[in-house]
Chains A and B, each alone.
Chain A
Amino acid sequence: DAGVIQSPRHEVTEMGQEVTLRCKPISGHNSLFWYRQTMMRGLELLIYFNNNVPIDDSGMPEDRFSAKMPNASFSTLKIQPSEPRDSAVYFCASSLGTNTEAFFGQGTRLTVV
């Protein structure tokens, strides 16, 4: 398996534009997580899904952020409209079941200018 695949790896966009980050979890995994990492706040959990259903979205910073998981092999994190303070590295991770390790993607580095 190629692991968790995120796209794009880098994204530079202007303030106010819509940004969509994509994630393909490892085949067969039933839990998917979106994290954001900045120097100031470290790694923050934004939302996670279990069997394609959002379980906890309390980490989503505001209504500008939304996440979907239409099927077991794909998830998106959308920011609309984007702001400079959204600049960060966004990680997606997946795992199989409970009490197992989570595998992280390589991340998407987002810069909003």
Chain B
Amino acid sequence: DAKTTQPPSMDCAEGRAANLPCNHSTISGNEYVYWYRQIHSQGPQYIIHGLKNNETNEMASLIITEDRKSSTLILPHATLRDTAVYYCIVRVGSNSGYALNFGKGTSLLVTP
């Protein structure tokens, strides 16, 4: 699976949009971009994933550049409960199942 690069930490004011970048310049055509987050002491939680097109769900939006070499996770109105470590993961889908390889992620701190 391709390697990802994320900033180690970011701050965001409560109520503002949090934009978390991820570089995956070696991504292959059949690799998806996944985002998970881990709130302190809990198991990782799925947020969103995409292949080429931008995606949106009730938690966040995922913007993938046209060349697919980078993406941005957007939390439109960050709350204090969004303070967590956010992981950007690139993986290949296969019929044998798959495994997520977590990197170090971005530690997001949402401040009042």
Interface residues of A (CB under 8 A from B): 4, 30-31, 33, 35, 42-45, 48-50, 55-56, 91, 93, 95, 97-99, 101-107
Instruction: Give the size of the chain B interface in residues (CB under 8 angstroms).
Output: 22
Q: Which residues of B contact A102 (CB under 8 A)?
A: 44, 46, 100
Partner of B97, one of A4, A50, A104, A105: A50
Measured in the bound complex, the distance between the Cα atoms of B32 and A106 in whole Å is 26
Mostly, the A contact residues are strand
Q: Which residues of A contact B96 (CB under 8 A)?
A: 50, 55
Q: Which residues of B contact A48 (CB under 8 A)?
A: 97, 99
Q: Which residues of B contact A105 (CB under 8 A)?
A: 43
Name the distance in Å between B33's Cβ and chain A's nearest Cβ.
Answer: 12
Name the distance in Å between B93's Cβ and chain A's nearest Cβ.
Answer: 4
